[in-house]
Chains A and B, each alone.
Chain A
Amino acid sequence: MSNITDLSLSELVSNIKNKKLSSQDVTSEYIERSKKSKNLNTYIEETFDAALKKAKEFDSKPDLNKKLPGIPMAVKDLFCTKNVKTTASSKILNNFIPTYESTVTQNLWNDGAILLGKLNCDEFAMGSSNETSYFGNVISPIDKDLVPGGSSGGSASALAAKLTPATIGTDTGGSIRQPASFTGTVGLKPTYGSCSRYGIVAFASSLDQAGPMTRNVNDAALLLEVMSSFDNKDSTSVDFKRPMYSKDLSKDIKGKKIGIPKEYRVDGMSEEIEKLWDDGKNYLKDCGAEIIDVSLPHTKFALPTYYIVAPAEASSNLARYDGVKYGFRTEGNNLIDMYEKTRSVGFGDEVKRRIMIGTYVLSSGYYDAYYLKAQKVRRLIKNDFNNIFQKVDAILTPSTPSSAFKIGDKSNDPVSMYLNDIFTVPVNLAGLPGISIPAGLDKKGYPLGLQIIGKSFDEQNILNIAYSMEDKINFKFNLKEWWMNE
């Protein structure tokens, strides 16, 4: 048998089910590797001892009917975990220990998974490079100068470096798919309403969605199956019949119509990305799918729309971090002074920037011109997709306009940073499912991803398409493990 940490989630599950491996074998291997990988700065909180204890408990009376039997897993630090510090990578929550568990993580534990620790991310999930975290930026295992992407950068990095067999992230404008693309991993953002938002630190409520980040498509299907549930504690959770995504996974996509939106061929896009996209089309044709050119005319408004809607909601969602009830506080001379000092010190620059943008676009006199207009454009973007989905079953696009950039390259230029989300943001605005799969390497040898966008609640379809493409692409990345301490 190869190294335990080289096995995919699905392989680990079957090995445990076949009693070839115990939960303790797996858990201790991952802990060992995580301990040697501190250079990547992926963990904010480690729960290794508790994980080992739980693994032991699991092994003492293993329930092999569980979907994730005794599988250790580290998760993004945006999910509230009972009795385990949850910070959203912010100073303002650096001492916050929830007394409750998010629905999504609870679903994982209910199905046998074990918490390894909490993974670094951009502060309040605001960022595309994991450079806005109060706990420092995360290093990509791809190359020491590279960002892992964001906001689920710690998750992507830990996954790619094999510090966790799979992980979960949240995606508000691309925060799962973009880091997956940057690190050569699979990231799925489900349809809005598929995974409960209960217990996830909110960034932009109408866009936030949790999803799986895995080493392959099969793992993503399995993890989504466990994560997704109807939850009456989240009013936007949708009660639909959830398929058995992993069981129903199929490579038969013959006759599927795949749309290629011309608006995604943006100015200045590199030839590498063009080629990647073309290769993608060819793989699909090889699988028997039909390629159709389509138009999503409002695409160019998606980014400005997103950067109005998301900060507007964020400015309100983050108002609760005021130093009064929990979290970090700086004393002040009076209530207002305390608020100002607490929030000035407690939030980082990017978060403050978005709170200010959000406050501005909602303020009286500007509301109609910004927020209301953005909502109208959002509707048009949705309509674009609805129209296209009359003709096609899914859409293929690049995941990002480029491969991973260097740490510090964009951190002083917010707009160029925001442009990184250009292909992922429309999907959130329309509430649709999207998956990024590794599809090739650029000249520098860095991973590139392709994105498949589906109809609402049609995750099975995009998983199937991704599954058959994965086979054709046969992506390989030779991880050099340069970061490991012995």
Chain B
Amino acid sequence: MNKDYLIERNGKKYEVVIGLEVHAQVLSESKLFSTSSTKFGSEPNTQVSLVDAAFPGMLPVINEFCIKQAIKTGIGLNAKINNKSIFDRKNYFYADLPQGYQISQYKDPIVGEGNVVLDLASGSKTIGIERLHLEQDAGKSIHDIDPKNTLVDLNRSGVALMEIVSKPDLRSPEEVNVYIKKLRSIMRYLGTCDGNMQEGSLRADVNVSVRKQGEDKYGTRCEIKNVNSIKFMQMAIEHEANRQVDILEEGGKIDQETRLFDTKKNETRSMRSKEDAHDYRYFPDPDLLPLEFNDEYVENIKKEIPELPDQKKSRFIEKFNLSSYEANILVSDLDISKYFEAVIENSDVKLSSNWITGELFALLNEKNLEITESPISAKNLSKLINLIKEGTISGKIAKTVFEMMAEGDKNPIEIVKEKGLKQQSDPKELEKLIEKVINDNQDKVKEYKSGKEKLFGFFVGQAMKVSGGKANPQLVNEILKKKLK
């Protein structure tokens, strides 16, 4: 993991340089310039106002909530908030772009430079943010319903997007993975974007170039448009970087162009070259005045900013003595961190961390569930952990209890009572049990005493088996050691 991601060809090593333009849908009830709903999954063309469909004489009016969301996100990215920004028109014709232009921000975005800190296996790395700007989403063209016609759904037309542009600071598909997840995590903490990639709330244009290791100058980049999953981004980068290296190795030259990633063929292909690039004829939208607010406005928004992942991580490390790795996992998702904090309210931190990142994550993974859909509530997991900590049940029994809990969030205390799973911790009882094990296995005892010390585990196992798994393993160990001397 610590090794740099390099592409080797003919003994030469190439570094991959990646920059992302992430399009994050602003979490808001209504669209950026109209009052239509943004609800996902509604019947086509049911959330379209006259403004969204660009009827004659219709005018955009800024939705202030979306502005606040963008400012919040900017604060979360440690970025400069611009007190004055301008909405521009980006002109092009397409069937799902009713106005014939997209209202976006070009020269004067609402958020300027900032950064995001990634926790990588090799340590932390800071990725620069170039800018964040607000823009309208287009509608959706549907080509595969009618054989002759393209159908257009304008529900998405006018929905607010934040375009978050990174600096070309990313160097591998793995860094892209971590970056996207971190960005998503920050926005979820802030409540500014749900980060749902399946619903298209988070998509990215990926800029990829390659250069020989050690070179300062960037290579010519290609932009891969509209990739909508982390996996596809990684596949696209890998393919594209290798394609570029191949060209260079054959003595060729990279053409700056826009490419599409074909997920079925796992390859990128040219969409349009620089020469064919659209001339978007950006100019300030005369229907909208420049967007201006004062410092106080931003200060008031700052007051609403919750604890963000980086701060939470530091707190977890300091207060709970967790490792950076553990803390990272627990804070990466707001809901996970909430779950964790609910469990540790009454339970041991270390055990809680282990159980959540171990058993619980495995369970969720297996059932393909989010933490918010966990079959085991934080309250019951906390009880289970307390049973272990008090010595009422062993870790092993706890796993059995955990499995039973998973079938409908049962109370672990009742499970233990019902099934008689309470740990056997009476030394006298255990002594009897162990004596029986020793008597039944005299041959093994001999071997052990003649130096085959590995057999100690065998005796522990037997003792546990005889107890039906309920024996306190720590006590079993102690007694066995005494008896086998």
Tell me the complex Cα distance, A236–B87, Å.
14
Q: A320: CB under 8 A from chain B?
A: yes
Which of B152, B282, B283 is close to A324, meaning CB atoms less than 8 Å apart?
B152
Does B95 lie within 8 Å of A93, measured CB to CB? no
Residue of B nearest to A364 (CB): B279
Tell me the complex Cα distance, A322–B57, Å.
15
What is A's interface to B at a CB cutoff of 8 Å?
A: 80, 86, 88, 93, 96, 98-100, 102, 197-202, 204-206, 232-236, 312-313, 315-316, 318-320, 322, 324-326, 335-336, 339, 359, 362-364, 367, 371
Residue of A nearest to B278 (CB): A364
Count of interface residues, chain B, beta-carbon cutoff 8 Å: 30
Which of A197, A235, A316 is close to B289, meaning CB atoms less than 8 Å apart?
A235
Does B57 lie within 8 Å of A197, measured CB to CB? yes
Residue of B nearest to A200 (CB): B57
Does A234 lie within 8 Å of B93, measured CB to CB? no
**Distance (Å) between the CB of A312 and the closest chain B CB?**
6
**Distance (Å) between the CB of A201 and the closest chain B CB?**
5
CB contacts under 8 Å to A, within B161-215, are none
- A326: chain B residues at CB < 8 Å are 55
Does B57 lie within 8 Å of A102, measured CB to CB? yes
- B56: chain A residues at CB < 8 Å are 80, 86, 88, 93, 96, 98, 201-202, 320
- B94: chain A residues at CB < 8 Å are 335
Tell me the complex Cα distance, A205–B284, Å.
11
Residue of A nearest to B53 (CB): A325
**Distance (Å) between the CB of B49 and the closest chain A CB?**
10
Using an 8 Å CB-CB cutoff, how does the interface string of B250-291 with A read, 1 for contact, 0 for none? 000000000000000000000000000001011100111100
Chain A's interface: helix, strand, loop or mixed, by majority? loop
Given A100-B55, A235-B59, A316-B89, A324 contacting B281 (CB threshold 8 A): no
Given A319-B99, A324-B95, A313 contacting B286 (CB threshold 8 A): yes
4 tightest A-B CB contacts, nearest first: A319-B100, A205-B286, A362-B281, A206-B286
Does A320 lie within 8 Å of B98, measured CB to CB? yes
Tell me the complex Cα distance, A197–B56, Å.
11
- A312: chain B residues at CB < 8 Å are 283
**Distance (Å) between the CB of A123 and the closest chain B CB?**
13
Does B283 lie within 8 Å of A362, measured CB to CB? yes
Tell me the complex Cα distance, A205–B93, Å.
20
CB contacts under 8 Å to A, within B31-58, are 50, 53-58
Q: B91: CB under 8 A from chain A?
A: yes
- A99: chain B residues at CB < 8 Å are 50
- B282: chain A residues at CB < 8 Å are 362, 367
- B219: chain A residues at CB < 8 Å are none
Does B60 lie within 8 Å of A235, measured CB to CB? yes
- B142: chain A residues at CB < 8 Å are none
- B455: chain A residues at CB < 8 Å are none
Does A234 lie within 8 Å of B101, measured CB to CB? no
- A319: chain B residues at CB < 8 Å are 91, 93, 99-101
Given A235-B61, A316-B100, A204 contacting B95 (CB threshold 8 A): no
**Distance (Å) between the CB of A469 and the closest chain B CB?**
34
- A198: chain B residues at CB < 8 Å are 57-59
Does B100 lie within 8 Å of A235, measured CB to CB? no
Residue of A nearest to B285 (CB): A205
CB contacts under 8 Å to A, within B71-99, are 89, 91, 93-95, 98-99
Given A88-B56, A232-B61, A235-B59, A320 contacting B100 (CB threshold 8 A): yes
Does B279 lie within 8 Å of A363, measured CB to CB? yes
Tell me the complex Cα distance, A139–B281, Å.
39
- B60: chain A residues at CB < 8 Å are 235
Does B98 lie within 8 Å of A324, measured CB to CB? yes
Tell me the complex Cα distance, A398–B208, Å.
62
Residue of A nearest to B89 (CB): A316
Q: B6: CB under 8 A from chain A?
A: no
* Extra A-B contacts (16), CB below 8 Å, given A80-B57, A93-B56: A88-B56, A98-B56, A204-B286, A205-B286, A234-B59, A235-B289, A319-B101, A320-B56, A320-B100, A324-B98, A325-B98, A335-B150, A362-B282, A363-B279, A364-B281, A371-B283
CB contacts under 8 Å to A, within B88-143, are 89, 91, 93-95, 98-101
Given A93-B56, A320-B100, A235 contacting B62 (CB threshold 8 A): yes
Q: Which of B56, B94, B286 has the most CB of A within 10 A?
A: B56
**Distance (Å) between the CB of B187 and the closest chain A CB?**
27
Tell me the complex Cα distance, A328–B412, Å.
71
Tell me the complex Cα distance, A93–B58, Å.
15
Tell me the complex Cα distance, A359–B89, Å.
13
Tell me the complex Cα distance, A201–B55, Å.
9
**Distance (Å) between the CB of B155 and the closest chain A CB?**
15
Tell me the complex Cα distance, A199–B93, Å.
23
Given A312-B283, A320-B99, A335-B150, A325 contacting B54 (CB threshold 8 A): yes
Which of A202, A204, A315, A367 is close to B57, meaning CB atoms less than 8 Å apart?
A202
- B59: chain A residues at CB < 8 Å are 197-198, 233-235
**Distance (Å) between the CB of A117 and the closest chain B CB?**
18
- A336: chain B residues at CB < 8 Å are 93
Tell me the complex Cα distance, A363–B281, Å.
5
- A232: chain B residues at CB < 8 Å are 61
- A322: chain B residues at CB < 8 Å are 93, 100
Does B281 lie within 8 Å of A316, measured CB to CB? yes
Which of B57, B95, B283, B288 is close to A316, meaning CB atoms less than 8 Å apart?
B283
Using an 8 Å CB-CB cutoff, how does the interface string of B215-227 with A read, 1 for contact, 0 for none? 0000000000000
